[in-house]
Amino acid sequence: MSKTKTVYICSNCGYDSPRWVGQCRGCGAWNTFAESKVSNNVNEKIRNTAINAKHKGYAGQISEGMVSLSELQGKEAALSRYDTGIAGLNRVLGGGLVKGSVVLLSGSPGAGKSTILLQAIDYLASQVSSAYFTGEESVDQISSRATRLHVKNGDKVKLKSETCVERIIENASSIDAKVIIVDSIQTMYSETNNSSPGSTSQVKDCGHILTQYAKTNDVSVLVIGHVTKDGTLAGPKVLEHTVDCTIHLDTTTSDRYRTIKSAKNRFGTANEMSVFIMTESGMKDVKNPSAIFLQRPDVPTPGTVVIPYKEGNGIMLLEIQALVAKGNPQYTKRVSVGLDSNRNSMLMAVLHSRCKVATYDKDTFLNVVGGIKIGETASDLAVVLAICSAIENIVIPQDVIVMGEVGLGGEIRPVPSGGERLKECRKHDFHRAIIPASNMKGLKTDMEIIPVKTVSEAISVLKRISVS
């Protein structure tokens, strides 16, 4: 009988320990160790092969000797990319799928991960040999989805239900596949690892093996990954370090729309975002996201501000709403949807300390319409003015946009790409803008610009231009 032993593996870096410890010696993280059962009865030859492979690194090779950086400069080959047939996906990937790259796509259940990749591989199959390996669904289920999506190159896409990465590589090599999809990494296992599929060590090893195969054979690998209940990628953090690109597919407050955003991209811009609409025939790229998220009521209400939000190289207009109500001074509510709650608390402290606008005895609710999560500080001034508008019960005119970062001293700091943001606003019939005074240098626009240097000055402007 094979003997098993218990080890504890860090979910962050993969470091293993014979007993549980509070802090990982490998990465220094706390409370990241999980118990795992490992069998001792592993073929020695397979074990040695796996160990030797790991020493080759993720690229699957070690360079001979050392060379100076200047010798390599100018010799690098231009990146060769495949067109996925989906404009929004191409944009997030940096211009298309790079040959020999590994892309990790995560998302909540039902977001449409399998759908968008099936659409992509249908188009890719017209260019190169492609294969789809599924460990979650049966081939009949994939076939049914392909019928619904009206797949055109179904005869060119090879499909197999498989969970062993070694056999996946064997099958992909047999047809000389240049693009493969692995659905999903949490259902895969390696023959060199006796842990259960989905365990920290299995996910780490499977990711390592697939990456080495991609790099040494110039094969593009698209891997689907699960997420935890709090929206983070399930499994060890080392998986995200292994792959070339990590993108996340998310739902919005409307069941019809999806956003896809890159968190890491070695071959393009990180934090690039695209918006899709889910239809009966699959994902469709939304060319003008601002028109979707900026559906304003006929009668304007207090506490509503529009901002030009920049994500990657794209700009979209979003609406921030604030609602302020009388609360219990001993226990006030601070609710933020789509905004950083810690930063909002800081902004309210600035209002109280620098502008004498008290919120300590009020319940404050902030929301980004459409379910988009804002991750930049250019929305600070809009949040501040939305709160003031709600407190004073005054309406910000619908042709006004606001942008600016707020410092702890109450000063308004500049935002990047100010001219590009205003250009997008002008396309949607916005005529006035409250912006940082430091963004005025070299600015060319036909909009009426109202520069401000402090939060107090911005509040004065708000009261002057407000609609009663």
Q: Is residue 122 in some structural domain?
A: yes
Quick one: 202 and 90 in the same domain? Answer: yes
- For the whole model, what pTM was predicted? 0.79
- Name, in order, each residue with C-beta under 8 angstroms of 463's C-beta and a sequence gap of 6 or more: 392, 394
The string of pLDDT tens digits covering residues 351-392 is 999 999 988 889 999 999 988 889 899 999 999 999 999 999
The reply to whether 107 sits in an annotated binding site is yes
Domain stops at, among 266, 287, 308: 287
- Name, in order, each residue with C-beta under 8 angstroms of 238's C-beta and a sequence gap of 6 or more: 12, 13, 14, 204, 207
The string of pLDDT tens digits covering residues 400-440 is 999 999 999 999 999 999 999 999 999 999 999 999 999 99
Quick one: 136 and 151 in the same domain? Answer: yes
Quick one: 318 and 280 in the same domain? Answer: no
Quick one: 276 and 321 in the same domain? Answer: no
**What is the band of 264 on the pLDDT scale with cuts at 50, 70, 90?**
very high
The reply to whether 341 sits in an annotated binding site is no
The reply to whether 146 sits in an annotated binding site is no
pLDDT at 59: 67
Quick one: 266 and 405 in the same domain? Answer: no
Quick one: 413 and 452 in the same domain? Answer: yes
pLDDT at 159: 95
pLDDT exceeds 50 at position 398: yes
Average the pLDDT over 307-329 and give the result.
91
For residue 457, what is the domain's CATH number?
3.30.230.10
Kind of pairing between the strands at 405-406 and 412-413: antiparallel
For residue 115, what is the domain's CATH number?
3.40.50.300
Give the DSSP per-residue string, 241-257.
HHSSEEEEEEE-SSTTE
**What is the band of 62 on the pLDDT scale with cuts at 50, 70, 90?**
low
CA separation (Å) from 171 to 158, 176, 214, 254?
10, 9, 14, 40
- Name, in order, each residue with C-beta under 8 angstroms of 52's C-beta and a sequence gap of 6 or more: none
Q: Is residue 283 in some structural domain?
A: yes
- Name, in order, each residue with C-beta under 8 angstroms of 427's C-beta and a sequence gap of 6 or more: none
Average the pLDDT over 142-148 and give the result.
93
Q: Is residue 73 in some structural domain?
A: no
Quick one: 377 and 427 in the same domain? Answer: yes
The reply to whether 338 sits in an annotated binding site is no
Instruction: At 104, give phi and psi (nearest 5°).
Output: -105, 115
Q: Is residue 83 in some structural domain?
A: yes
Quick one: 264 and 384 in the same domain? Answer: no
Instruction: Map residue 383 onto helix, strand or coil.
Output: helix
Q: Is residue 364 in some structural domain?
A: yes
The reply to whether 37 sits in an annotated binding site is no
The reply to whether 371 sits in an annotated binding site is no
The reply to whether 65 sits in an annotated binding site is no
Quick one: 398 and 309 in the same domain? Answer: yes
**What is the band of 25 on the pLDDT scale with cuts at 50, 70, 90?**
confident
Quick one: 204 and 306 in the same domain? Answer: no
Domain stops at, among 287, 312, 335: 287
- Tell me what the pLDDT averaged over the chain comes to: 88
Work out how many domains the chain is built from and give that number: 3
Q: Is residue 208 in some structural domain?
A: yes
Range(s) of the domain holding residue 15: 4-41
Q: Is residue 394 in some structural domain?
A: yes
pLDDT exceeds 90 at position 399: yes
Quick one: 220 and 340 in the same domain? Answer: no
Burial of 110 from C-beta contacts in 10 A (0-12 / 13-18 / 19+): exposed
**DSSP letter (8 states) at residue 408:** T
**What is the band of 61 on the pLDDT scale with cuts at 50, 70, 90?**
low
Cα end-to-end span (Å), the chain: 82
The reply to whether 114 sits in an annotated binding site is yes
* One-letter identity of residue 202: Q
Instruction: Map residue 427 onto helix, strand or coil.
Output: helix
**What is the band of 468 on the pLDDT scale with cuts at 50, 70, 90?**
low
Q: According to the per-residue pLDDT averaged within each range, which of 36-45, 123-132, 285-294 is highest?
A: 123-132
Quick one: 24 and 93 in the same domain? Answer: no
Q: Is residue 72 in some structural domain?
A: no
